[in-house]
Amino acid sequence: MPDLINILVLGDIVGRAGRRALAEHLPRLIDQHHVDFTVANGENLAAGFGTTRNTAEEMFRLGVDVLTNGNHCWDQRDFLRQIEQDERLIRPMNFSSRAPGRGWTVRETAAGHRIAVINLIGQVFMGPWACPFEAAERALAEIPDDVQAILVDMHAEATSEKMGMSWFLDGKVSFVYGTHTHVPTCDEVIHASGTAYQSDIGMTGSYQSIIGMKVESALARMVDKLPRRFEAVERGATIFATLVSIEPETRQCKAIERICIRP
């Protein structure tokens, strides 16, 4: 079998706890699994709300190659400028065409393999975004033919919508995976076409929390329905990630494995 491209996918990295866990474990994970390329969702990097230049650079120094985003994309105002300047940062393709940044990118591994990453956001329970299916078609039409793997981060609430995207792109991309819910799913699969799928990678953050936020404020808001400022838990993160191995000649996924590192 020809050499495979090993790609590590991280879901939502939540605040300082998630960043600390990756600082401790990510370089070793990359070495241990001979990872060629790493992609992560960065919409919760800055205390749970958006991405900043410093938090993004911290992830890049640790070995992350591309940061995708989601509904918290614009929580940090300086990110509007940063995303225009750095092709390692992308936002959902089906955001307004007037929004800064881009919905897909292509980056090269150290071995010269070209990896495309597409970012989409769901419509169900999420917001009045444009159709993610049409956006996915546009992205595939724009991506160069010489890429050797195509990854799709479907940032969405509803598992059915995520699964629908996986079948819509079946045989056209290497891996469709979900982010946003902060809860890992154990439904990883490789379809007969060679396209892999997982409903949600899960967060890298504290699970002694409510999806990464301190219980006191999040629970109080649920109970009394009054406004509360959410605070991200700062320590004790679990890392959830998924490792896929892609055959560069066909772009097909040949292996998929969930990874969990607890504090």
Q: Which residues are catalytic?
A: 72
Distance, in Å, from the CA atom of 25 to the CA atom of 20, rounded to the nearest integer, reads 9
Encode 107-117: b = buried (16+ Cβ within 10 Å), e = exposed: bebeeebbbbb
Distance, in Å, from the CA atom of 128 to the CA atom of 248, rounded to the nearest integer, reads 36
Distance, in Å, from the CA atom of 102 to the CA atom of 124, rounded to the nearest integer, reads 22
Nearest Cα neighbor of 220 from 207, 232, 229, 212 is 229
CB distance 171 to 194 below 8 Å: yes
Angle at 23 between CA 18 and CA 25, to 5 degrees: 95
Structure tokens belonging to residue 32:
């241990």
Q: How many CB atoms lie within 10 A of CB 227?
A: 6
